[in-house]
Structure 1
C-alpha cells in the first residue's frame, strides 16, 4: 500500500511540475514576440515622421536600446519571478494533495482493518505485547463502528476485552451483538449469551444473579450440548444455591469427558453440590459417576492366524450402536500380542462427548488391518459383536474369523 501511494505521489508531482516547465518557455516566447511587434511598429512610425535624419538616428538608437533591454528582462527578471512563484505553488499543491490523500485513506480506506488483520495474524503465531493488544482492541472498535453490520469485528473485540480483564466493556459489546444477531442464528446467539453471562459474572466480582443464570438457560435451550454453557450454568446454579441444578448441568458435562484431570476437578465440584443437597435432606444417585469399562478377550481363529503376519496391526474398538461412526474407545495392538484381554473405557475416547458412558449400547469390533490403516479394506480380517451394553460386567470374547471381500 505504501509503495502504491508513493508511485501515485510521483505521478502527481510530474503532473504538477510539467506545466511549470512548459509555461516558462511559452510565456517567454509570447513576451518576445510582443516586444518585437512593438519595436517594429515604433520603427515604422519613426521612419514616416518629418524629423531630420540626425534626430531619426538618435531616436532609432534609443528604440534599439529599449528593445534589447526588454528582451533581457524577459530572459532574466521575468523568468526568475516566474520560477520564484510557480515552484512554491506547485510544491504546495503537491503537499496538500498527498496529505489529503493520506487523510482520506485513513478515514475511508482499509488501513485500519489491514492493521487489525496484521495484528490478529501475529497473535495466532506469538503472544502480543500489551501495547499491541490495546492497539488491536482500539482498531477493532473503529472497524466495528465503521461496519456495524460486520459482527465479527465486535465479537473479536469482546473476546479480547474478556481476556484482558475488561469484563464490563466486554459485557457491553456482547449485549450489543445479541441485539443485532438474527433469531435463526441459534449457535451464534447461544455462544454470545454464554459469553455475556460470563463477562457479567466476572464484572460483578463473581457474584451471580438470576439474569445471568437465565441467559445460560436460554443458551442451553438453543444448543443443549454447549460445554462452556453447561460448565458456566453449573457454576452459577451453585452460587445461587440451586445445588441440584448444578449437579444436573455438571453431570451432562462430566459424562461427555474422558478420564482426565479436568474431569476429576469437575467431579470434586459435583461431590460438593451433593453434600449440600444431602444437608438439605435430599438424596442423590451417583451411580452414573462410575466410569464405564468393557473387558474384551481378543483372539484369532485358525484360518485367520494362518493368513496374517505377527507384525500386522490389530484395532479393537467400540462404536455407538446408532450414531456417528467415530469410535467411542479404541486400542491398537499387533497380531503377536494375541490372545489378550484388554479394557475399553472412557479414557480412550477420541472426542469430548463421544465415550462409552454416553451410549447405552455399543458395537464391538476387532479387526486385523493388513495396511495398518483404521478404515476396513479388502483382505482385512475382523469380527463384530452387537449390541453390547456399556454396563456389561462379564468378559466378552472376540475371535477374529471373517475375511473382508
Structure 2
C-alpha cells in the first residue's frame, strides 16, 4: 500500500501544478503588459514632442517623417508584437480554492468509490501465508472484497472444517451453493458441517439435504458417510451398514479410508442383535491371547503385544487393540490385521497368510513387513489414541518372535 500512496501523491502534485500554473503564468504576463504600456506611453510622448518641434519650425517635414520612423523602430524593438495577446483572467483566488479542494474532494471520492481494499488484498495475496490463521484471514478478506468469488467461499468452508469450525463452514458452504447451485457434493458437505455444528444431532432438514444429494448422485461419498455415522449414533446399525457398504463400493481398496469404512461396517455388524461379525468383513478379532496351532508348513509371524506401565489406568479394559502388518514399501493399507482388547494384554498372537486382507498379497510373499499396534477407545482404527513404535521385520526369519510395546500418544 505504501507504493500505491506514493504514486497517488505524485499524481496529486501534478494536478495541483496544472491548477496553479495560470496563477504563476499570469504574474509574468502582467509584468510584460506593464512594460509594453510604458513603452507605448514613451512612444506617444516622443511623437508629440517631434510634432511640436515641427510646428515651431525647428524640424522640417522630412525630419519629422524620419523621427517618426525612428520612434516606430524603437517601439518595435521594445515590444513583442509577434505574440498575440490573450486576455483570460481567472483571478488569483479561484485557482487557489480549486487547488485546495482537489486533494480533499479527490480523497473523499476515492474512499467512496475507490478500491483501496482490493489493492491491499492483491498485495497481501502476493505472499504465501505462514500459518493457518493467516490463510483463513486472507480468505475472509477475499470473500469480503469479492463476495461473488466461488473458489474463495469453497476453500474458506474447507479450511473452517479442517480447523474444527463447522458452524462457520456451514455458512460458507451455504453461500457457495447460492452462487453455483445445489450440486450433490456441495449439498453433502453442507449437511456434514450442519451435523457437526448441531452437536451431532440428526434432523429432518439434514435428511432432506442428504436425500437431495443422493437423488442426484446415489454414490455421493460425503452423504453416504454422514448417513452411516448418524444411523450408527442412533443405534440403527443396519442402516449404517447399508450406507457404508454403498460408500465402500466406490472406493479403491488401497484408499486409506477404505479400511476405516470396513472397520465401521464390522462394528455395526457386531452391534446387531444376535450377530457375529464375519472375519472377511474387516479386521478379525482375536478371542484369546494364546497362539492357535497352524497347519503344518503354514507361514506364521509371532508377535507379542504389551502395554507400557505408564498407560495403565489411562486406557479402559474394553478399548480396542489393533495389530497391523504393512509392507515396508507398498500400499498404505494393512496386509494383515487382528483385533484384541486392552484386557487381553499382554498377548501373543500369530499372523498367517490366512489373515491377509488382500488375497493377492500374502504375508509370506512380502520381503519386509512393518508391524505396529495401536489402541482406540472408539473402536476406529483410523483414530487411535496410543500406538507402538513401527517395527521392521524380515519374513524370511520364520519362527522369530517380535515384540510391540504400546507406549506413545498419537
> TM-score normalised to the size of structure 2?
0.48
Larger Rg: 2
